[in-house]
Amino acid sequence: NYPRHGAAFSLALVRPRSRGRVLLSSSNPAVYPIIDPSYLDDELDLRIAVEGLKFVRKVASTGPLGEVLGEQLVDPSNPHPPGSDECLAEHARRSALTVYHPVGTARMGRAGDPAAVVGPRLQVHGV
């Protein structure tokens, strides 16, 4: 039973350390790849998310905004005490998603460079 009105806050890790991966699930190019974003896999990312959620909770409960917003909704399926670091970490893990187009980088370099993926003409090495 939810109230008719409310507010939602979100936070974003602008420079996450966690790294996902994309794997081929088949040699058939029509088959979708396996995408594992690995959100919050890095412990620092998770700690930053928890601290960000603490800050958002403080802002939402302080001053005139706190008077208007009232009580925070808590997911009853979260097994940790509401407001605890464990509860906030669980919430961050469950609700993590991307808010921007997921992208990556590929190093450009000569064919002999083991870290380079593409050459100066943007051709993928080894293909």
pLDDT at 116: 93
Q: Mean pLDDT by 10-residue block, N- to C-terminus, for the chain (127 residues)?
A: 79 91 93 94 97 95 88 91 96 89 79 91 89
pLDDT at 107: 87
Would you please indicate which residues are annotated as catalytic (active-site) residues?
Answer: 101
pTM: 0.74
Cα–Cα dist 105/77, whole Å: 38
The token pair at 101 is 């187009």
pLDDT at 41: 97
Cα–Cα dist 89/91, whole Å: 5
CA 44 to chain centre: 12
pLDDT at 67: 87
pLDDT at 101: 67
